[in-house]
Structure formats: structure tokens, C-alpha cells
Chains A and B, each alone.
Chain A
Amino acid sequence: MAVRPVLTFPDESLKRTAEPVEAFDDALRRAVADLEETMRAGPAAVGIAAPQVGWGRRVVIIDASARPQWPNHGRLVLVNPEIVAWEGSVVGREGCLSVPDYTGNVVRAERLTLEAFDERGGPLRYEMEGFEARVAQHEIDHLNGLLFIDRVVSRRKDLFRRKVYR
């Protein structure tokens, strides 16, 4: 296992669409282990996508377990993930390992259904909401060459605030 260097904007690799994983082999699992080690080495990251370490495959790791106030599925390795249903929209603050020292408000779906494969090719299906759903959308964007800065609506205004905590 090894921590890989995280590519930062404006590295062109971050703008490329990642290719689907076809072989669910030991090489895949080794690369996933490196990806996870890289995520854990970063500053409190709750997710990472393969293109962030220059690996152009459709693999993300998310782990929203550090936010127990939101329902979450813990650590997930998602291979060839696909969001198959969305609902609602909510603004939240995002930053990125690949865009250091910058955060902004981004509109994301509030709830979603996601299909993917695990590291051995087994099918997965999750219903996600809130913080975990945001993390999944942020990471899957990386697979399509998108960064959160492509979606920032404002740094200063909660333009579409929906959730009100009184």
C-alpha cells in the first residue's frame, strides 16, 4: 500500500472522463487500497475519486461515518457507480483535496439512489441522503471530469437554502 500524490487543479487529468473498470482483479484491489490510504492521509477527507491520484478509472471511496448526525453507510468502495434516481435539492459547502484552500456553496440532490459494484464485482445499491448523498455526488463528478468549482453557485449566499434548523 502507498499514499499517492493528489493531483490538484488545474491538472488536465482532473478534467478527463474516467473509463469503467472491466477487470475485478487483485490489481484493482491494490489500487483501491492505495486510493483509500491516500484519502486517509489527507486533511479529514470524506471521499476520494480515482482521477484525483491520476488513475483514470471509475472508482470512488466515500466514508461519511465521521458525520453520525446524518444517516450513512460507513466506508464504501464504489466501482462504476451510477446515480439512477435523484430527489430534492439543497445547498451545502464543499471543498476538495484537489482544490486546496478554497470552499464554495454547491447545489446537490438531497436524496439519491446509486448503483455500483464492489471490488469483487458484486452488485451494490444504496439509498443515500444528506451529507452522504453530497459526498457521492462530489466524487462521481470527478469521474466525469467535473470539480465542485464547476458548480459553485456562491461563496457568500445560501441561494437555495431548504433545510432550516430552528
Chain B
Amino acid sequence: MSGWFMLTVVGEDRPGIVARLTAALYDGGCNLGEASMLRLGGNFAILLMVQWEGGAARLAALVEPVTRSLGLAQHVDRIEGRLHQHVEPDVGITVSGSDRAGIVAHAVGAFAEAGLNILNLESGVGGSAERPLYIMHIEGQALEGIAPLRSALEILRREGIDASLTPIDTLIG
């Protein structure tokens, strides 16, 4: 009976990590589900849904030679994974402003109070070292409708955080 695992690998980025990792998993008899790879501040990070017949320890042992040789850290969790469990976002929110401590907690806290269930969050720091600029993009479900979120955006704007909202209306055709 095979189960799903979440394999997390992080470390210094270099070309070829994904290829070597997925080759080791394939050769070891794993099946991949959904995956997300990111580069954050020069660091490589990947989350992989892996279907595998052994336990977590054996899966960790399978990828360990690859991660060790590349100097990466790995982590394996058994998950209650299933494919085809997508939840569609109905709103996208972009937050931007001068980078300062607490901007994420403050903005996201306001959205949570306004009924936002976050499905995706990505942020980056741009600008220059002297004048850093923070940009965050969120997709989620507006569980209490769009109106409370608009009010939350208005409050953030009065505090100097620029925030805008776009309803996501998925077309099926």
C-alpha cells in the first residue's frame, strides 16, 4: 500500500538539483504528484509530493545520497495527500510598499480578519539596498465576500501600504 509523502529540500542553489533529485526518485520507484520549486534569496527550495511504497525513513535514505552530495538539507513527512483536491481562488491581492518589519503580519492579519483564506502567497524584495521595496502577491478565497477585504485594503492604504485587489473569475469553456 503506497502512501504520499512531502519531501522538502532546501539549500544553496546550483544548476541540476531538480534533475538529480527527480532522477533518484524515479529510479527508486517513486511517483511524483504536485511540486513547487522556488528560489528565495539565492536559496533553492522545493516541495514535492512523492508517492512511495516504503516508509518515511526509507524515502529519506533514497534521496540522501543526492542531497548530501549537493550540500542540501532534506525533510520527509508522511501526508494525507490526494491529487485532485484543488481549491479555486476567487480573489488576488497585491501588497507593496517600502520594506519594513511587520508588513506581512500586519497585512495578512487584516485580511484574515476580513475572511481571507490564503491559498498562495509569494513575496519578493526589490528596489535597492538603501531603499528596499516589498511586493507580495496573494491568492485566496474571500470567505466573507469581497467587501470586508476592500475595507481592510483601505485601512492598509491609510497606513502607507499600497494594496490592490482583483476578483478572480475563473472561466470554464
From A67, A97, A166, give the contact of B169 (CB < 8 A): A67
User: Which one of A44, A96, A97, A158 has the highest number of Cβ atoms from chain B below 10 Å of its Cβ?
Assistant: A158
* B173 lies within 8 A of A94 (CB): yes
State whether the Cβ of A95 lies closer than 8 Å to any Cβ in chain B. Answer: yes
State whether the Cβ of A145 lies closer than 8 Å to any Cβ in chain B. Answer: no
State whether the Cβ of A35 lies closer than 8 Å to any Cβ in chain B. Answer: no
Give the number of residue pairs across the A-B interface with Cβ within 8 Å.
Answer: 73
Produce 1/0 per residue, A139-161, CB < 8 A to B. Answer: 10000000000000000111001
Query: What is the interface of chain A mostly: helix, strand, loop, or mixed?
Result: mixed
Within 8 A of B (CB), among A87-135: 92-97, 101-103, 131, 134-135
Q: List 19 interface pairs A-B (beta carbons < 8 Å), by A numbering.
A: A43-B172, A46-B173, A48-B173, A49-B173, A92-B168, A93-B168, A101-B84, A102-B86, A103-B170, A135-B171, A138-B171, A156-B137, A156-B139, A158-B92, A158-B94, A161-B166, A165-B167, A166-B153, A166-B165
Q: Which A residues are within 8 Å of any B CB, using their own CB? A: 42-49, 62, 67, 92-97, 101-103, 131, 134-135, 138-139, 156-158, 161, 163-166
Q: Nearest 10 CB-CB pairs, A to B?
A: A47-B173, A93-B170, A138-B173, A95-B172, A164-B164, A94-B171, A93-B168, A45-B172, A101-B84, A156-B120
